[in-house]
């Protein structure tokens, strides 16, 4: 692991009346002008720039006018769940007479609009299928739906393959020819934009007056848009930061959906102090637990629920599923580490594949993430999917586009991968079990073609060192509200050498510290989560290099500064 200072432009931008430290932090994240920091909804990119939007609006407006049945087909993660909810709620707000959702059970049907899920959808007798957070690779499923007489609108954000499905309309910022400047929209963001465009069309046609309904405030859906965007770890470019900021503002003001509020209550999180990382690490995993272990419909029903008691009951079920998921994940981690314990780091594959027949399909994505974090290399974890098939979940590191890497393997060895799809940093695939060993070798070879050994050294990018007087609660509060922080717009991280005043283990694997930045400087509380128990705690270590964020610890109504340790190395 190596700590490096974030590069700054030669000339700092004029970002208005900001403290110098905050100007440097923003500049290091590519902010070039003050307008990029504005978070009002008026600054959102216009919906008409999305290719296929006019056709999508025509399909939906016709369905509303003819009182047709609309069925939303979602995905089984937090982005798919929130996108499904936004679609159902938004279309109902706009006057749809019949709108429902269907999400494939990942263990029975797999991902996306498959011919099998179309057969299930036909039992609902819809007129229009709308995919959310999937569909861009569903060539056979779209064809099956159209052969059955259904119209199909695909809304997605995943990278397309060489061929697009022959849907009646496609809205995806990543499809060829789309001029929408932000390619980072999550699936829920794409669906929200479709609703914005549909509302504008209906307004111009006098729809709301004709139906004697009030034009809805679609901003009421932004808590869900923020949740799905952060949980799906999409880059927080300027446009996504607006969506997330506005959603967080609604949650903090007590205007979240009852289901989202219930999840926060069960997790003992104060909505008034919520930050974007809480959506990603607290709410998202509880929602995802339903899709990983059981059926994401439980999470969707929680978010759709209109009454507090029903929402609380469902949130408690999600909490139990999340606890079950943690136990399964920890067991799988132990088994993965046993596989690797006799291999020195220098002998590990550059592209690491892991498989145990008993691993849970729904948890392999988390396992891949944990192993990627531990060994800092691309990892694919596989589980037995039955009938001689393995399903894999891949996670990557900076510098390696994992979907394109799988594409390269498929091009060289077309017999190895049955199907795949995904993003730059995460992907999914399936293959025949008999091809596992050959695929593992081909994957490692392809990763070695793209990365060097130096690329496998993790780099932590710091915003510099803080002076003793900057360890201040006011600065921590200022940084908290300067976000939202997230993927490719990371929370400010600092580093420095500290004297260790005290250290002790808490919660089995967390290190509670008292640090001092300089002689005669005040003592600082700090905590490092999931530390290496082979190194810490160690009373013989008195000095350490620490990378940290400034955090606010709240206890019994009192606030105090706390360092949240990202890495700690003995000095």
Give the pLDDT score at 33: 94
Mean pLDDT of 157-175: 95
CA dihedral 208, 211, 213, 218 (to 10 degrees): -50
Give the pLDDT score at 294: 85
Residue 71, sorted as left (phi over 0), alpha (psi -120 to 50) or beta, turns out to be: beta
- Closest by CA position to 360, among listed 315, 293, 413: 293
Give the pLDDT score at 187: 97
Helices (H), 136-257: 139-147, 187-204, 207-211, 222-231, 238-252
In degrees rounded to 5, what are phi and psi of residue 107? -85, -20
Give the pLDDT score at 111: 76
Detail the DSSP E strand segments found in 357-397. Answer: 379-386, 389-395
Pick from 102-106, 130-134, 394-398, 459-463: least confident: 102-106
In degrees rounded to 5, what are phi and psi of residue 234? -80, 150
Domains contained in the chain, CATH given: 43-307 (3.90.1640.30), 343-456 (3.10.310.30), 461-570 (2.40.50.460)
Question: Tokens representing 153?
Answer: 């609108």
Find the helix or strand (DSSP H, E) in which 552 lies: strand 543-555
Question: Tokens representing 503?
Answer: 């250290």
The rounded distance, in Å, linking the Cα atoms of 559 and 282 is 21
Across the chain, mean pLDDT equals: 95
Instruction: Kindly list the distances between the CA atom of residue 17 and the CA atoms of 13, 14, 20, 480, in Å, as whole numbers in the listed order.
Output: 12, 9, 9, 18
Give the pLDDT score at 140: 96
CA 89 to chain centre: 22
Instruction: Kindly list the distances between the CA atom of residue 14 and the CA atoms of 19, 31, 33, 463, in Å, as whole numbers in the listed order.
Output: 11, 10, 6, 19
In degrees rounded to 5, what are phi and psi of residue 495? -145, 165
With cut-offs at 50, 70 and 90, classify the pLDDT of residue 76: confident
Q: Higher pLDDT residue, 508 or 168?
A: 168
Mean pLDDT of 500-514: 94
Give the pLDDT score at 421: 84
Interval 356-372: pLDDT, tens? 999 999 999 999 999 99
- Closest by CA position to 162, among listed 410, 391, 378: 410
Residue 300, sorted as left (phi over 0), alpha (psi -120 to 50) or beta, turns out to be: alpha
Detail the DSSP E strand segments found in 362-482. Answer: 379-386, 389-395, 419-422, 426-432, 459-462
**Contact status, residue 430 vs residue 385, Cβ threshold 8 Å:** yes
- DSSP per-residue string spanning 118-134: HHHHHTT--SEEEEES-
Res. 112: pLDDT tops 90: no
The rounded distance, in Å, linking the Cα atoms of 241 and 226 is 9
Find the helix or strand (DSSP H, E) in which 560 lies: strand 558-570
Q: Higher pLDDT residue, 508 or 149?
A: 149
**Contact status, residue 420 vs residue 441, Cβ threshold 8 Å:** no
- Diameter over CA atoms, the chain: 77
**Contact status, residue 271 vs residue 251, Cβ threshold 8 Å:** yes
Helices (H), 76-124: 78-93, 115-122
The rounded distance, in Å, linking the Cα atoms of 443 and 449 is 10
The rounded distance, in Å, linking the Cα atoms of 172 and 25 is 32
The rounded distance, in Å, linking the Cα atoms of 213 and 223 is 23
Strand partners, 28: none
Res. 284: pLDDT tops 80: yes
Res. 107: pLDDT tops 80: no
**Contact status, residue 462 vs residue 549, Cβ threshold 8 Å:** no
Give the pLDDT score at 507: 87
Q: Higher pLDDT residue, 2 or 557?
A: 2
Mean pLDDT of 507-514: 92
Question: Tokens representing 447?
Answer: 């990763």
Res. 102: pLDDT tops 80: yes
């Amino acid at each position: 692991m190596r700590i490096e200072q974030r590069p700054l432009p030669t000339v700092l931008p004029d970002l208005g009346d900001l403290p110098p430290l905050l100007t440097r932090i923003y500049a290091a994240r590519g902010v070039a002008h003050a307008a990029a920091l504005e978070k009002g909804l008026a600054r959102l990119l216009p919906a008409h720039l999305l290719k296929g939007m006019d056709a999508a609006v025509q399909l939906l407006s016709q369905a509303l006018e003819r009182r047709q049945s609309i069925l939303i087909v979602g995905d089984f993660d937090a982005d798919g769940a929130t996108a499904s909810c936004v679609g159902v709620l938004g279309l109902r707000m706009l006057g749809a007479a019949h709108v429902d959702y269907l999400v494939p059970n990942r263990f029975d049907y797999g991902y996306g609009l498959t011919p099998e899920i179309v057969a299930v959808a036909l039992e609902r007798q819809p007129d229009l299928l709308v995919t959310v957070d999937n569909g861009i690779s569903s060539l056979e499923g779209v064809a099956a739906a159209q052969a059955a007489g259904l119209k199909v609108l695909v809304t997605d954000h995943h990278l397309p393959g060489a061929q697009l499905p022959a849907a009646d309309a496609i809205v995806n910022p990543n499809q060829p020819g789309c001029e929408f400047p932000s390619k980072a929209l999550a699936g829920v963001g794409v669906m929200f934009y479709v609703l914005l465009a549909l509302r504008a069309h209906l307004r111009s046609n006098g729809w709301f007056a004709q139906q004697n309904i009030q034009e809805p405030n679609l901003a009421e859906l932004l808590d869900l848009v923020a949740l799905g965007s952060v949980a799906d770890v999409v880059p927080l470019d300027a446009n996504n930061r607006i969506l997330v900021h506005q959603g967080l503002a609604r949650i903090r003001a007590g205007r979240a959906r009852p289901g989202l509020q219930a999840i926060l209550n069960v997790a003992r999180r104060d909505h008034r102090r919520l930050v974007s990382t809480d959506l990603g690490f607290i709410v998202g995993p509880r929602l995802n637990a339903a899709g990983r272990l059981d059926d994401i419909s439980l999470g969707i029903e929680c978010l759709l629920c209109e009454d507090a008691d029903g929402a609380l009951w469902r949130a408690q079920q999600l909490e139990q599923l999340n606890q079950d998921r943690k136990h399964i994940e920890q067991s799988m981690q132990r088994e993965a580490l046993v596989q690797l314990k006799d291999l020195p780091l220098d002998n590990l594959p550059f592209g690491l594949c892991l498989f145990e027949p008993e691993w849970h399909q729904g948890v392999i994505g988390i396992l891949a993430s944990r192993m990627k974090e531990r060994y800092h290399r691309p990892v694919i974890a596989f589980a037995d999917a039955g009938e001689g098939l393995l399903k894999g979940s891949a996670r990557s590191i900076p510098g390696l586009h994992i979907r394109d890497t799988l594409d390269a393997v498929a091009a060289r060895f077309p017999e190895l991968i049955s199907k795949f799809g995904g993003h730059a940093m995460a992907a999914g695939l399936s293959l025949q079990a008999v091809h596992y060993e050959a695929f593992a070798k081909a994957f490692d070879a392809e990763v070695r073609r793209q990365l060097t050994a130096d690329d496998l050294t993790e780099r932590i990018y710091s915003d510099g060192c803080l002076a003793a007087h900057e360890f201040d609660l006011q600065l921590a509060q200022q940084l908290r509200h300067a976000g939202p922080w997230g993927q490719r717009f990371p929370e400010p991280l600092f580093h420095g050498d500290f004297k260790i005043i005290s250290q002790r283990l808490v919660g089995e694997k967390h290190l509670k510290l008292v640090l001092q930045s300089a002689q005669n400087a005040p003592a600082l509380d700090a905590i490092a989560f999931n530390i290496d128990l082979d190194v810490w705690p160690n009373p013989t270590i008195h000095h350490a290099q620490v990378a940290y964020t400034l955090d606010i610890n709240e206890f019994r109504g009192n606030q105090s500064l706390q360092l949240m340790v990202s890495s700690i190395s003995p000095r």
